[in-house]
Amino acid sequence: MLMGKTIIVTGGSNGMGKYMAMKFVSEGANVVITGRDLLKLENAKNEMEANGHSISIFQMDVRNPEHVAAMVEFADKTYGQIDGLVNNAAGNFIVETEKLSANGWKTVIDIVLNGTFYCSNAVGNYWISKGSKGTILNMLATYAWGAGAGVAHSAAAKAGVMSLTRTLAVEWGSKYGIRVNGIAPGPIERTGGAGKLWESEEAARRTLQSVPLGRLGKPEEIAELAAFIMSEKASYMNGEIVTLDGGQWLNQHPF
């Protein structure tokens, strides 16, 4: 499905990013994963190589536009083209809003919203300058349009990413044929979010109860959907945000 495509996955050394990267390489894509921690990147690379897949790593911070420019240059030099970008890098922590410091707010906004913009703009300009087309996938959360009690910074940032997704889908879709879509995952096991947001037994129990299907999602399920959206099979999908949450966000009045 993705044979010969080159895809960058930010925050690709663990959690959902790693599973998407694994799925993309298994479909024949060239993949560059990025992250701040070189050791985590190398571990992810070793894990994929042990499964017979090669992958490239690039150490960077999405908050730094110079790093982002270097990431684009690296992917282009390594593979001669870029076909897709997955804005997966995220930062989050649970905090009551009245206790959230200005720097805590700024940090999450910087990673999630500004980082998504820097990467999208750099890769978008790469495509525009080459006269080529590509596709962007942004990772959201259902609280982008709902309420993120305890994660106001992340919810506000994801809402911004949702707006950017739709705006770029229209602006770049009409001018350049660039598709921009999003996935809004619910609670997914083996991810950074699972580790941070459903840490306590009580939180995990409440989360499970809130999902009509009665289980957490699997990162492999997110990766399946991501691979479809990045592929030509989804060539008419643009500006769409696909929810994959077992029906959780609709479950307003559990009986």
Catalytic site positions = 143
Regarding 86 and contact with ligand HXC (CB under 6 A), the answer is no
Closest CA to 135 of 30, 12, 236: 236
Stretch that binds ligand HXC, among 38-46, 92-100, 126-134, 213-221 (CB under 6 A): 92-100
Find all residues with CB under 8 Å of 192, minimum gap 6, and list them: 14, 15, 16, 90, 92
The radius of gyration of the chain from alpha carbons, rounded to an integer in Å, stands at: 17
Regarding 193 and contact with ligand HXC (CB under 6 A), the answer is yes
Residue from 34, 92, 135, 181 binding ligand HXC (CB under 6 A): 92
CA 172/CA 151 separation, integer angstroms: 31
Neighbouring C-alpha atoms within 13 Å toward the C-beta of 108: 20
Regarding 145 and contact with ligand HXC (CB under 6 A), the answer is no
Report which residue type is found at 30.
N
CA 112/CA 140 separation, integer angstroms: 9
Residue from 90, 137, 161, 162 binding ligand HXC (CB under 6 A): 90
Regarding 95 and contact with ligand HXC (CB under 6 A), the answer is yes
Q: Least distance (Å) from ligand HXC to the CB of residue 91? A: 3
Judged by CB under 6 A, the number of residues near ligand HXC is 17
Regarding 218 and contact with ligand HXC (CB under 6 A), the answer is no
Regarding 98 and contact with ligand HXC (CB under 6 A), the answer is no
Residue carrying the six token digits 């001669």 = 80
Nearer to ligand HXC, 192 or 246 (CB): 192
Regarding 93 and contact with ligand HXC (CB under 6 A), the answer is yes
Neighbouring C-alpha atoms within 13 Å toward the C-beta of 58: 24
Strand-by-strand arrangement of the 56-59 sheet: 56-59, 30-35, 6-9, 84-87, 135-139, 179-185, 241-244
Stretch that binds ligand HXC, among 19-27, 74-82, 93-101, 218-226 (CB under 6 A): 93-101
Cα 181–chain centre separation: 11
Closest CA to 237 of 245, 226, 247: 226
Regarding 156 and contact with ligand HXC (CB under 6 A), the answer is no
Regarding 192 and contact with ligand HXC (CB under 6 A), the answer is yes
Residue from 104, 150, 160, 173 binding ligand HXC (CB under 6 A): 104
x-marked contacts with ligand HXC along 30-49 as a string, rule CB under 6 A: --------------------
Enumerate binding residues for ligand HXC (CB under 6 A). 90-93, 95, 101, 103-104, 107-108, 141, 154, 187, 192-193, 196-197
